[in-house]
Structure 1
Amino acid sequence: MRDSVSKDTLSDVKVQQRERGTLWERVRPGSLLMLVATCVGALLVLSPFLLVVLNAFKSPADYSTRGPLALPANFDLGPLQSYLDIIDFPKALTNSIVISVVVAVVGVLISVLAAYAIGIGRIKMRTGVLAVLLLGTMIPQEALIYPLFYIAQATGTLNTIWSVIIIFIVLQGAFGTYLLAGVLGTFPRELLEAARVDGASRWRILWTVVVPVIRPTLAVLMVFFFIWTWNEFYIPVVLLNSQDAQTIPIALATLRGQYTVDMTVVNAGSFLSLLPTIVFFLIFQKTLSNGVTAGAVK
């Protein structure tokens, strides 16, 4: 009995070894090379963030003596405290969140309404309107900053977050309209005709037929609008001189003095500035994945 059990165990081990051998033999050199290249690429992409984290918890003396690539000799929270003493981080964080959320939501809403009229309504001069919208997204911000500054000054919105919100709603809405107009131009006409036969109005068709179908695209567009607006620097730095209206990128830029720069404080500020975007990306990662794959599956 013991001999039969030992023979069965030995045979199972041989089968497992054979399966491992065949699995290893099935690994192609090209796939292995691709895996190695992917790991190296991921390390290169993450290296700037790791370098920021590495230097955010160093003392200035440790940074100056051992350099930016060495591990911290001691875990020091001094740079983070110095950054929070210099910058009103909760206020800057609130401003960035409010601006980005309002621009993302209202920008997508305007894009949907305008693209519905252009893509499905087939308004006159459709090609001309799309050309103007495309041209608006291609004009560099440096060419727009002077008229935008004087318009904000004339309307009394200078040094308030509403100047930036209105400007970016228009800019992001122009891009979103151009993008969604192409998507809705290929929308299945059978669904629209079926809704019309059932007596649905154009407004009801938009919210009960069109929007549910393109919801993954709208979700991805909203995420991109949020990230793009969060990272904007040039227009906000010109229009938001008041400390009460500063955003995260502007607050980070104020750390650079005229003659000296404390790199540990800059890295600590960069670390705190990156945390909200990382959390936002982790929360909406599934939304991005579903939106990208939804367009590839009929």
Structure 2
Amino acid sequence: MAAVTEVAPGPTSRPDERHRRGKARWAVLAGAAVVALVMLVPFVIMLLNAFKSPSDYSQHGPLSWPQEVYTQGLKNFWDRTDFPVKLLNSIFISAVVSVAGVVLSLLNAYAIGIGRIRGRLWVVTLFLLATMLPQEALIYPLFTMAQKVGLSDSQWSVIIIFTVIQSAFGTYLLASVLGTFPPALLEAAQLDGAGRWRILWRVVLPIVRPTMVVLMIFFFIWTWNEFFIPLVMLTTNDTQTVPVALASLQGDRMMDAPTTNAGALVSLLPALIFFLIFQRTLTRGVTAGSVK
């Protein structure tokens, strides 16, 4: 008579545990939906008031539905600020900073993470501390240096400043990534006769490219939203950016609330469109970086 062996059943989740897990997921989704709605409230109010006449705004307040579609506020903001010029200035500054900041971050991180320079930990800590410095503490020496080198009221002064500021964070991030780089890949490349530059462009760059794309998107959006340093450095209408133009016009000409909301809406749209275009690229970059 053959012996019968009993196979122990595998671990299965109990129905009550699955039920609790499902309730927890629904609670998290509900909380995320509430947070999303709360964050959307200011944008909805801005959108309502952008197409509301000044008389309608004064009579019914900012939370009422527009009695008619009022587009004169958009036209006033467009004409008073010479918005196309400000838009091109913001795009130019943000694009150059995003590219230059990522390239500088890669070179710094390659020297720190792969080159293993002396005092690597202190250098990375210095870059981390540099990202925490308030702009108010830097603006006076930066403004003085810009005047002495002939970059007063020049877009290149803002580009240089933000390239250095953004690359401080990029260097800290990429140096942390390259610090865990597989030594076997580097040794194999060196055995094949590859030099440092060839290792950088042929071995290191393809692996950290997703992280660099994420940094480039962040640098563009961060630079686009910057206000204080461009406000001090750029003093003429031909060099100012969109946030500076919106704030200076509001204080100079005392615009009404609907025109201010219309200007904020027009100023927000380019950055929003840029984010939507590169949303999938951003998601792929974060996922690829986490897998590698």
* Same fold? TM cut 0.5: yes
Aligned to 2:288: 294
Aligned to 1:255: 249
Letter of the aligned partner of 2:69 in structure 1? F
| Residue 201 of structure 2 is aligned to residue 207 of structure 1 | yes
| Distance in structure 1 (CA, Å) of the matches to 2:172 and 2:213 | 16
| Residue 189 of structure 2 is aligned to residue 158 of structure 1 | no
Q: Taking structure 1 as reference, are residues 128 and 269 closer, same or farther at Cα in structure 2, changes over 3 Å only?
A: same
- State which of 98, 114, 118 in structure 2 corresponds to 1:120: 114
Asked if the contact 1:255/1:266 (under 8 Å) is kept, the reply is: no
5 Å-filtered alignment, 1:87-102, equals: 87-102=81-96
Identity of aligned residues (%): 58
Q: How many residues align?
A: 274
Give the deviation of 1:39 after TM superposition. 2.0
Deviation track 1:43-73 (CA, whole Å, cap 9, x = no partner) reads 1111111111111111111111111111111
| Distance in structure 2 (CA, Å) of the matches to 1:102 and 1:144 | 21
Aligned to 1:80: 74
Give the deviation of 1:33 after TM superposition. 2.9
Letter of the aligned partner of 2:178 in structure 1? L
Deviation track 1:219-240 (CA, whole Å, cap 9, x = no partner) reads 1111111111111111110111
Letter of the aligned partner of 1:176 in structure 2? G
| Residue 139 of structure 2 is aligned to residue 139 of structure 1 | no
Aligned to 1:105: 99
5 Å-filtered alignment, 1:233-272, equals: 233-257=227-251, 260-272=254-266
More displaced, 259-268 or 68-77?
A: 259-268
Aligned to 2:271: 277
Q: TM-score scaled to structure 1, two decimals?
A: 0.87
- State which of 37, 40, 43 in structure 2 corresponds to 1:49: 43
Q: Taking structure 1 as reference, are residues 202 and 84 closer, same or farther at Cα in structure 2, changes over 3 Å only?
A: same
| Distance in structure 2 (CA, Å) of the matches to 1:208 and 1:190 | 15
Give the deviation of 1:172 after TM superposition. 1.1
- State which of 189, 212, 216 in structure 2 corresponds to 1:218: 212
Deviation track 1:94-144 (CA, whole Å, cap 9, x = no partner) reads 111111010010010011011101100111222232232223222211111
Aligned to 1:61: 55
Aligned to 1:14: none
Deviation track 1:156-199 (CA, whole Å, cap 9, x = no partner) reads 11111111001111111122112111110101111111111222
5 Å-filtered alignment, 1:173-188, equals: 173-188=167-182
Q: Residue 131 of structure 2: SS of its match in structure 1?
A: helix
Give the deviation of 1:27 after TM superposition. 9.7
Q: Taking structure 1 as reference, are residues 200 and 259 closer, same or farther at Cα in structure 2, changes over 3 Å only?
A: closer
| Distance in structure 1 (CA, Å) of the matches to 2:52 and 2:121 | 56
| Distance in structure 2 (CA, Å) of the matches to 1:262 and 1:195 | 64
Asked if the contact 2:208/2:289 (under 8 Å) is kept, the reply is: no
Asked if the contact 2:49/2:258 (under 8 Å) is kept, the reply is: yes
For structure 2, the residue ranges without an aligned partner over 5 or more in a row are 1-18
| Distance in structure 2 (CA, Å) of the matches to 1:207 and 1:29 | 49
Asked if the contact 1:91/1:244 (under 8 Å) is kept, the reply is: yes
More displaced, 104-113 or 35-44?
A: 35-44
Asked if the contact 1:232/1:249 (under 8 Å) is kept, the reply is: yes
| Distance in structure 2 (CA, Å) of the matches to 1:289 and 1:259 | 42
Q: Taking structure 1 as reference, are residues 41 and 90 closer, same or farther at Cα in structure 2, changes over 3 Å only?
A: same
Q: Taking structure 1 as reference, are residues 132 and 33 closer, same or farther at Cα in structure 2, changes over 3 Å only?
A: closer
Q: Taking structure 1 as reference, are residues 127 and 29 closer, same or farther at Cα in structure 2, changes over 3 Å only?
A: closer
| Distance in structure 2 (CA, Å) of the matches to 1:40 and 1:149 | 44
More displaced, 35-44 or 251-260?
A: 251-260
Letter of the aligned partner of 1:202 in structure 2? R
Question: What's the RMSD between the two structures over aligned residues?
Answer: 1.8
Letter of the aligned partner of 1:60 in structure 2? P
| Distance in structure 2 (CA, Å) of the matches to 1:185 and 1:31 | 36
